[in-house]
Structure 1
Amino acid sequence: MTMLDRRRFLVGTAATGTALAAGRAWAQPRDATLRIAVLADFSGPYRDTSGPTSVVCARQAVEDSGIAARGIKVEVIQGDHQNKPDIALALARRWFDQDGVDMVCESNNSAVALAVANLAKEKDKVQLASGAASSTLTGEQCSSNTIQWTYDTWMFANAVGTAAVRAGGDSWYFITADYGFGHQMERDTSRFVQAAGGKVLGSARFPFPGTTDFSAFLLQAQASRAKIVGLATAAADTVNCIKQAKEFGLTRRGQKLAGLVMFTTDIHAIGLETAQGLLLSEVFYWDLNDRTRAFLERVKPKTPQNWPNQEHAGTYSACLHYLKAVADLGAERAKASGLEVVQRMKAMPTDDDCFGPGKVREDGRKIHPAYLFEVKSPAESRGPWDYYKLAGTVPAEQAFRPLAEGNCPLVRT
């Protein structure tokens, strides 16, 4: 063999080897594992409201779905957005581009959820915003690849604002977290207060995150002489504000606090002695009925120190319905198109132990009843986490903003 022939043989062998390697790689089946990412606060003020318990609930949904029996593997991972949209976007982009994530849930920060919604649509993935509250997510900024699952600012504002004015609380002052959720909560509640015949005297906005001393804002609220001080806050901010309000004696002077967005985890942190008598709205409570109690019994051993609240329940419910849609479509088809999964989720009725029967509207709003609760006194409580007594129910079709009023581009007019 001449030197030229030898070179040709080596080049040909290398090319054939490369082709065979490429052929083997092409012939290998694609990774069919379904990946769910819980994007939440794991280190900040909303850790107990979302965080580790949401991961427990997502995994419980996988277990309850029975999807493993159909041969579909599901992996649940987690990431801390630190309440910063840029960090959330970087995480989500890596998940979508490198880690094979198909669905992001929780997103318990409205600015985070709005940012990830755009990315999920761009990458044709799914976002189930089970922790974000801004009603903008199903309004003008609705997305074909995002569903808002648990609650929103319109629902809270409607339930709390209207009822308080009708009970005589016709003048309001707001203490508001200075980011998307807080602004939306204040706007929505103000609208319902005014529609019911009340008036808004002003507001004070505090930096988020990082504020622990609310004294200056409480003094402004006190000086306003408003009958109701509305807390457009959540989680640890609400807890700190209510505790400090008691120290300042706001309620002794005749003013009342309205917790616009509150959870059982907040009441647990505040204590019944301080929180008793508060009225608040939630869409889930563990002791509401036989189905909610059954859900708690499955989850409680895995998170004994932090029983699930409405946000955790929303993550469970959203993941369960997602997995039902995946099982209906098939894993390969579901991984190929997030849009198709969302469309199937909208077409299928929802039903689970946390919320009972419901549906997902075309604007991406999950529909279920909302409840008005009164916080029990220490003497009324029968044991750990027994905090609420039911004061009223808002039917599903009345609990959320009418479809025609949201200006969502996905809604056919």
Structure 2
Amino acid sequence: MKSFTKSAVQLGVAGLMGVTACSALASENKISDGVVRIGVLTDVNGPFMDNVGRGSIVATELAVEDFGGKVLGVPIEIVTADHQNKADVGSARVREWFDEGKVDVVSELGNSAVALAAMKLAQEKNRLALVTGAGAVRISNEDCSPNSLHWVYDTYSLAKVGTQPIVKEGAKKWYYLTADYAFGHSLENDGKTFIEQAGGEMLGSSRYPFPGNDFSSYILLAQASDADAVAFATAGLDLQNAIKQGKEFGLGEDGKQSVAMLMSIMDVHGLGLSDAANMMFAESFYWDLDDESRAFAKRFQERTDRMPTALQAGQYSGVLNYLKAVEKSKSDNVTDVVETIKTMPIQDAFAKNGKVRADGKMVHDMYLVRVKQPAQSKGPWDYYEIVETVSGDQAFHPLSESKCSLVK
């Protein structure tokens, strides 16, 4: 457990008086147990640890420090655990946190199955699930809950922002290289919908067994197609390996645009600019966007020796605004906090023009980015060119199409 309070050893008579005063203040402000506890459930050692993991824990620490380590005069504590990308492991830990650890909000949840399981428990126990790391649309759609918030991105926004502007620029014909499991299928199907809405067409797709190592045959099929754009509907190491092999086979040398349906700055860093150059994809954050994002990224880098991913910056934003809502509502009761946060403008190092809708989705500006060529980069981590900014109202699914029971 990480705490930003004084240790018990430091408490003398004056300290005990302070505890009494703190308890009284907590009672006055409706803070349960005299402490606000934040649980960070993340992938510490698995395939997504670079995109979330320790970096998301650091982002949480930075948010708590920026808030002063206390809210309404009571201490803020952070507890952390590894969900191992298993819903049963994640559920067991969340249940333990809620029942025994008196955790008020469980956050990050960078796996959709883990997130959905945590959301059910949060509703059962009347706590909050702050989902910053998972992207399933159903989190804030058919499975929405009054006890959950969905903060960073979803497959809808990634597919829409990552295809339609490119179609409108002239890449009308598309071919997909897709991981053959539910997540890959979702990225491909959403992409197909938005490509056709923008006036383009899907020529075909190759689905490979996930995880994979040899993408050569699928890349050759994509090259042989008449496509203007080749989309990679996969993620992590598979994405990096597919891009590397595509480069070796000369993919893109004939003018075909390579597009990733889900890519992060750590994927670009792992590939290097020589292999990742000219890739296009949707992003929800870039460290070099403005002064505020640069200041946050500098502090993050000092502790991690790397720049934050969108998911890590989103975790910072989600925790910071949760604490603001606790302060504003003078309560850590989940109903009070959620009602309050839905009235607040969300504007910080991560979110630009953000707001939390009735379905719990935090909508904000999204970006279509292109990876720079090595000669264009001015220094370490200078990787992206912002091609287009898409407002949250345009990037995320409209409430008029929502299946969320909270939407009147």
Q: TM-score range by the shorter chain?
A: 0.7 to 0.9
Q: State the SS of the aligned residue for 2:96.
A: helix
Counterpart-to-counterpart distance in 2, 1:242 and 1:194:
25
Note if 1:326 corresponds to 2:326: yes
* Partner AA of 1:63 in structure 2: E
Task: Give matches, 1:173-192, under 5 Å.
Answer: 173-192=175-194
Counterpart-to-counterpart distance in 1, 2:99 and 2:207:
37
Counterpart-to-counterpart distance in 1, 2:322 and 2:93:
21
Give the superposition deviation at 1:370. Answer: 1.2
Counterpart-to-counterpart distance in 1, 2:240 and 2:204:
22
Q: State the SS of the aligned residue for 2:49.
A: coil
Counterpart-to-counterpart distance in 1, 2:63 and 2:162:
31
Which of residues 332, 349, 352 in structure 2 aligns to 1:353? 349
Note if 1:200 corresponds to 2:202: yes
* Partner AA of 1:351 in structure 2: Q
What is the match of residue 277 of structure 1? 278
Counterpart-to-counterpart distance in 2, 1:110 and 1:316:
19
What is the match of residue 5 of structure 1? none
* Partner AA of 1:372 in structure 2: L
Counterpart-to-counterpart distance in 1, 2:208 and 2:99:
36
Which of residues 110, 122, 125 in structure 1 aligns to 2:124? 122
Per-residue Cα deviation, 1:352-390 (whole angstroms, up to 9, x for no partner): 222244210011111211122221111111111011122
Counterpart-to-counterpart distance in 2, 1:31 and 1:141:
30
Counterpart-to-counterpart distance in 1, 2:307 and 2:84:
22
* Partner AA of 2:202 in structure 1: V
Counterpart-to-counterpart distance in 1, 2:181 and 2:37:
30
Which of residues 366, 373, 379 in structure 1 aligns to 2:369? 373
Note if 1:134 corresponds to 2:130: no
Give the superposition deviation at 1:234. Answer: 2.4
Which of residues 313, 326, 338 in structure 2 aligns to 1:342? 338
Q: Structure 1 residues 345 and 276 mapped into 2: Cα distance closer, same or farther (>3 Å)?
A: same
Note if 1:404 corresponds to 2:400: yes
Note if 1:363 corresponds to 2:359: yes
Q: State the SS of the aligned residue for 1:379.
A: helix
Largest Rg, 1 or 2: 1
Checking the alignment, whether the CA contact within 8 Å between 1:286 and 1:292 is kept in structure 2 is: yes
Checking the alignment, whether the CA contact within 8 Å between 1:133 and 1:181 is kept in structure 2 is: no
Structure 2 gap ranges (5+): 1-26
What is the match of residue 268 of structure 2? 267
Q: Structure 1 residues 373 and 219 mapped into 2: Cα distance closer, same or farther (>3 Å)?
A: same
How many residues of Structure 1 are paired with residues of Structure 2 in the alignment? 378
What is the match of residue 158 of structure 1? 160
Q: State the SS of the aligned residue for 2:163.
A: helix
Give the superposition deviation at 1:158. Answer: 1.2
Q: Structure 1 residues 326 and 157 mapped into 2: Cα distance closer, same or farther (>3 Å)?
A: same
Counterpart-to-counterpart distance in 2, 1:378 and 1:33:
49
Give the superposition deviation at 1:400. Answer: 1.5
Task: Give matches, 1:87-126, under 5 Å.
Answer: 87-126=89-128
Checking the alignment, whether the CA contact within 8 Å between 1:67 and 1:323 is kept in structure 2 is: no
Give the superposition deviation at 1:340. Answer: 3.1
Q: Structure 1 residues 60 and 243 mapped into 2: Cα distance closer, same or farther (>3 Å)?
A: same
Checking the alignment, whether the CA contact within 8 Å between 2:150 and 2:360 is kept in structure 1 is: yes
The structure in which a higher percent of residues are helix is 1
Q: State the SS of the aligned residue for 2:188.
A: helix
Q: State the SS of the aligned residue for 2:199.
A: coil
Counterpart-to-counterpart distance in 2, 1:356 and 1:65:
20
Counterpart-to-counterpart distance in 2, 1:368 and 1:136:
18
Q: State the SS of the aligned residue for 2:379.
A: coil
Q: State the SS of the aligned residue for 2:38.
A: strand
Checking the alignment, whether the CA contact within 8 Å between 1:110 and 1:180 is kept in structure 2 is: no
Q: Structure 1 residues 215 and 117 mapped into 2: Cα distance closer, same or farther (>3 Å)?
A: farther
Give the superposition deviation at 1:217. Answer: 4.2
Q: Structure 1 residues 216 and 91 mapped into 2: Cα distance closer, same or farther (>3 Å)?
A: farther
Counterpart-to-counterpart distance in 2, 1:296 and 1:233:
27
Q: Structure 1 residues 236 and 100 mapped into 2: Cα distance closer, same or farther (>3 Å)?
A: farther
* Partner AA of 1:182 in structure 2: G
Per-residue Cα deviation, 1:181-222 (whole angstroms, up to 9, x for no partner): 4333222111001112222244444555x5444445445545
What is the match of residue 317 of structure 2? 317
Give the superposition deviation at 1:397. Answer: 2.2
Q: Structure 1 residues 348 and 41 mapped into 2: Cα distance closer, same or farther (>3 Å)?
A: same
Counterpart-to-counterpart distance in 1, 2:36 and 2:226:
55
Note if 1:386 corresponds to 2:387: no
Checking the alignment, whether the CA contact within 8 Å between 1:134 and 1:185 is kept in structure 2 is: no
Q: Structure 1 residues 181 and 38 mapped into 2: Cα distance closer, same or farther (>3 Å)?
A: farther
Counterpart-to-counterpart distance in 2, 1:36 and 1:207:
38
Q: State the SS of the aligned residue for 1:45.
A: coil
Please report the RMSD computed on the Cα atoms of aligned residues, expressed in angstroms: 2.2
TM-score calculated relative to the size of structure 2 = 0.86
The share of aligned pairs that are identical, in percent, is 45
* Partner AA of 1:76 in structure 2: I
Q: Structure 1 residues 180 and 111 mapped into 2: Cα distance closer, same or farther (>3 Å)?
A: farther
Higher mean displacement: 271-280 or 62-71: 62-71
Q: State the SS of the aligned residue for 2:359.
A: coil
